[in-house]
Amino acid sequence: MRVTTCSKRLILESCGLEDLVYQVDPYVGCGHYCSYCYALNHAETDWREEVRVHEDLSGRLFHELLTIPPQTIYMGYNSDPYQPVEAEQRQTRKALELFVETGHSASFLTKSDLFARDFDLLTRMEDARVSISVAFNDDATRRLFEHDTTPTEMRMDALKQAQDAGLQTSALLCPIIPYVTDAMELLDSLAPVTDTIWVYGLTIRDRNGLNWKNVEAILAGHYPANRKRIEEVVFDREHAYWRDLRTRLEKAQLTMKPELKIHI
C-alpha cells in the first residue's frame, strides 16, 4: 500500500451522525477495500493501492481541538480508523492521544481488531465507544467481499475485550447480503458482547457506482445460480425477504438483551 499525504484541509470536520458534532478521518481512503463500500463511488484514489494521511496530524489537530468544548468525536466517517496501515502509521492513535490530552472522547466503527492496542487511551476517556461491523459468517465469504479486513471472530473477540475493559460497545450487522449473510446466526454471536446492534441490508444507490460493479462481479463469479434473485432483493426494499427477516429480528428482540435498531 502506498501512503501519501493529502491536500491540506481541516482535520476536524462536521459530523452527520446523530448526537455527534465533529468527526476526524485519520486517513483519506481505506485499504480494507470492501467491495460494497459506498465511499468507493467518490474516492480520491484507488484504495487498493493508495491511502493518504494528513501531514503533521498531531500538530494541526491539537490546535483545532482547542477551539471546541470537550465532547465525543467520531473517528473515521469515510474510512476505517483501524485499517491495515494504522499498525505502522498510527494516525488514529495520535488523534486519540490528543483527545486524552484535551479532554475529548472517541467513538468509532471498525472492521479490525487493532483497536485493542489503544485500550490504554480509550479507558482514560469519559465516554469512549467501540463499535465493530460484521456481515459474513465464514472467512472465505468475508474475503470475497471485504478484501483485507480482520476475520469476523477476531473482531468479536476484541469487542469482548473492550466490554471487559469497561468501554461502551456496539455492533453494526451490515451489510446483510440476501442469501449470503446469515443475519440470525451473527446476531446470536454478537449478543453477548454488545449493548446495541444496528441492522442494515445492503444498500446500493447507484447501479453505475463502483461498489455495485464490484458486488455484481463477485455475484457473477461466485453465486451464478443466486445472482438474479440476490439483485432483485437488493433493489426492492419491500421484498418479502426483508419483511420476513424483519419479523424474525423483531421476534428475537423479545428475548435478546442488546437493543436492536432495525433498519431493513
The number of residues making up the chain comes to: 264
* Paired strand residues for 146: 34
Strands (E), 145-195: 168-176
Nearer to ligand SF4, 65 or 162 (CB): 162
Q: Residue written as cell 460493479?
A: 213
User: What is the spatial order of strands in the sheet that 129-134 belongs to?
Assistant: 12-14, 22-24, 72-75, 105-110, 129-134, 168-176, 196-201, 259-263
**Contact residues for ligand SF4 (CB under 6 A)?**
30, 32-34, 37, 39, 79-80, 111
Nearer to ligand SF4, 30 or 95 (CB): 30
Nearer to ligand SF4, 35 or 65 (CB): 35
Nearer to ligand SF4, 65 or 172 (CB): 172
Q: Are 193 and 156 a contacting pair, CB within 8 Å?
A: yes
Nearer to ligand SF4, 75 or 122 (CB): 75
Find the shortest distance in angstroms from Cβ 191 to ligand SF4.
23
Residue among 132, 200, 134, 136 nearest 168 (CA): 132
Contacts of 18 (CB under 8 A, 6+ apart): none
Find the shortest distance in angstroms from Cβ 79 to ligand SF4.
5
Find the shortest distance in angstroms from Cβ 31 to ligand SF4.
8
Find the shortest distance in angstroms from Cβ 112 to ligand SF4.
8
Find the shortest distance in angstroms from Cβ 248 to ligand SF4.
25
